[in-house]
Amino acid sequence: MILHPMRRSGAVITETALILPLFLLLIFGMFDIGVGILRSQSLSHTARTAARIAIVHGDLAPNALGAWGPNTYGPTALSDSGPIATAVRSSLAGIDPLTVFLTIEWIDGSNHEENRVRVTLTHSYQPVTGYVIQTNLELRASSTMYITH
């Protein structure tokens, strides 16, 4: 008795058609997670840097630095040409400044020494896989510090 191998014509194409989209979604999903984490860390770093800049611009700041506050600043895009956005923008990495919004709040209502200042940055991140899922991720970073002078 001679056995003839079963013909599987089209099986490979069918299996590829089922598995390839899932594989690509997994690969691009991992890429999106990595880029999202990078942007989140960049926002956190920039918020901390902006808070450090803001705490030396209190009411006792030298004239060369100038005093900031106590009125809330923003939300303003980091691409703004004003002195505050310009000072903060240089620490941002990996994100377009047009898409990052800066808010600075003097929580205790004044810019006196030992009062708090809070810096908040927001960014709307559109993942590559977001075209499949149709979603934007709102990334937010905040830092609060005490004014030193």
CA-to-CA distance for 47 and 101, rounded, in angstroms? 11
47 occurs within a structural domain? yes
Per DSSP, which regions of 83-146 are E strands? 100-106, 116-125, 137-146
Q: How many CB atoms lie within 10 A of CB 78?
A: 25
Record the tokens describing residue 41, joined without a space.
């860390």
pLDDT tens for the 149 residues of the chain, in order: 677 666 666 777 888 888 998 999 899 889 989 999 999 999 999 999 999 999 998 888 888 888 887 899 989 999 899 889 998 998 998 899 999 999 999 998 888 888 999 999 999 998 887 776 678 889 999 999 998 88
The pTM (predicted TM-score) of the whole model is 0.81
1 occurs within a structural domain? no
5 occurs within a structural domain? no
Residue 148: its pLDDT value, please?
Answer: 86
60 occurs within a structural domain? yes
123 occurs within a structural domain? yes
100 burial level (CB within 10 Å; 0-12, 13-18, 19+): buried
53 occurs within a structural domain? yes
> Based on the structure, what is the number of domains in the chain?
1
DSSP for 50-99, written as a single string: HHHHHHTSSTT--TTT----SS-EEEEETT--SHHHHHHHTT--SS-GGG
Residue 141: its pLDDT value, please?
Answer: 96
Q: Which domain holds residue 84?
A: 11-146
126 occurs within a structural domain? yes
Record the tokens describing residue 54, joined without a space.
């803001």
What is the strand order of the sheet 100-106 is part of?
73-77, 100-106, 116-125, 137-146
3 occurs within a structural domain? no
